[in-house]
Amino acid sequence: MKIIAVVQNKGGVGKTTITKMLAEWFSRHEKKRILALDLDPQCNFSRRFLTMELDPTDPHGILPPIHPDFDPNDPDEDPTWGGRSSSAAIYTGQLVVPYATHLKGLDILPGHAALLDEVERVRRDDVQQRVHNALQRWLAYPEVNEAYDLVLIDTMPSKGPLTVSAMRAATHVLIPTEMEQQSIEGLVNMLQLWKRENFARADQSEVNLIGILPNKVRKGVSLHEGLYGSLMNDPSIKPYMIPMQLHQRVGYAEPDVPGTHPASVFDRPKSDDVRKEAEILVAYVEERVFG
Ligand SMILES: Nc1ncnc2c1ncn2[C@@H]1O[C@H](COP(=O)(O)OP(=O)(O)OP(=O)(O)O)[C@@H](O)[C@H]1O
Ligand SMILES: [Mg+2]
């Protein structure tokens, strides 16, 4: 089983957009069995695939819908289960029940704002066992490991415990970045986290860096071209740069609008630039991850 974590502590760089593209590509075109995990309390990834609900106990909170398999009248139903499941359950020890999506082969464990916030706030002394190592432990269970070919993890804009847990569990990481100063700083943070993780793993298997993906790049904008040039001139960064860019194009944002057609960049015309760039990206990721 391959596990890709998409990480970057700067917000808005395209983590969710890219995770969604990978989920669509690998389920629809490569017929892989995929589990997507939303580790972000904002639940943006979950909203693309499930009808999320407002949490009555939390004015800003979002939670997953009642699971279609939940039957409170079934005497065999787990009495501790309230009918919702989320990625947070991996950390809290509650029942973990992935949701099927409209895409064949793609299951999702959605976010749950209040519960993920709680996990992210776990105290220092037991954070390692309860959070950092919890996702890796859960993904190693044979019933999970054998059920999926690929796990995709969309993370929150943070380098906190949940992001560390994603990095710990991952076989591969992908770091999207905008060509703007704060995103470059976030990218450097993520490279450090990746190196620290490999150091901590010692003799265990390595976590591979798929690479750094320049996203939302605008041609002819000197800030973007200048920062891109400086990354390509930096010997500590250049080897990790994915040899392509996703440009700033409204076609990447359009599928975020509910009910929009096409709902996926891969449904755009073959000659469309958005689709062409996206296909180059997924082919690159596929080659790096599956060989
Ligand atoms: N190449 C692109 N061109 C145009 N818009 C894009 C592109 N990539 C992403 N976007 C848009 O930018 C916004 C932020 O993207 P996204 O939500 O994927 O970032 P994120 O890193 O997941 O953010 P957060 O850190 O808040 O989770 C979204 O509205 C998305 O549609
Ligand atoms: Mg996101």
Least confident of 6-10, 123-127, 130-134, 221-225: 123-127
Q: In angstroms, rounded to a whole number, what is the distance separating the alpha carbons of residues 64 and 82? A: 11
On whether the CB atoms of residues 105 and 149 are closer than 8 A, the answer is no
Residue 166: which of 178, 152, 176, 177 has the closest Cα? 152
Beta bridge partners of 5: 153, 173
Mean pLDDT of the chain: 95
pLDDT digits (tens, 9 = 90+) for 277-288: 999 999 999 999
User: What average pLDDT does range 71-100 have in this prediction?
Assistant: 95
Place of tokens 């599956």: 290
DSSP state of 124: G
Mutating to test ligand 1, I would choose from 7, 9, 16, 224 the residue with most ligand atoms within 8 A of its C-beta, which is 16
- Domain-by-domain residue ranges, the chain? 2-66+80-290
pTM: 0.97
pLDDT digits (tens, 9 = 90+) for 40-64: 999 999 999 999 999 988 877 999 9
Written as one letter, the residue type at 139 is: L
Written as one letter, the residue type at 89 is: A
Q: In the CATH scheme, what is the homologous superfamily, with its name and number, of domain 2-66+80-290?
A: P-loop containing nucleotide triphosphate hydrolases (3.40.50.300)
Q: Which residues line ligand 1 (CB under 6 A)?
A: 11-17, 40, 42, 44, 157, 215-216, 246, 248-249, 252-253, 256
Residue 5: which of 33, 27, 38, 28 has the closest Cα? 38
User: What average pLDDT does range 220-232 have in this prediction?
Assistant: 96
pLDDT at 60: 77
pLDDT at 178: 98
Q: In angstroms, rounded to a whole number, what is the distance separating the alpha carbons of residues 284 and 97? A: 31
Closest Cα to atom 16 of ligand 1: 14
Which tokens go with 70? 């939940």
pLDDT at 236: 94
pLDDT digits (tens, 9 = 90+) for 18-44: 999 999 999 999 999 999 999 999 999
Residue 109 clears pLDDT 80, i.e. is over it: yes
**Residue 203 — very low, low, confident or very high, per pLDDT cuts 50/70/90?**
low
Closest Cα to atom 31 of ligand 1: 253
Residue 172 clears pLDDT 70, i.e. is over it: yes
User: What average pLDDT does range 103-119 have in this prediction?
Assistant: 96
Instruction: Specify the higher pLDDT residue, 30 or 153.
Output: 153
Residue 123 clears pLDDT 90, i.e. is over it: no
pLDDT at 197: 95
Q: In angstroms, rounded to a whole number, what is the distance separating the alpha carbons of residues 35 and 99? A: 9
Residue 149 clears pLDDT 90, i.e. is over it: yes
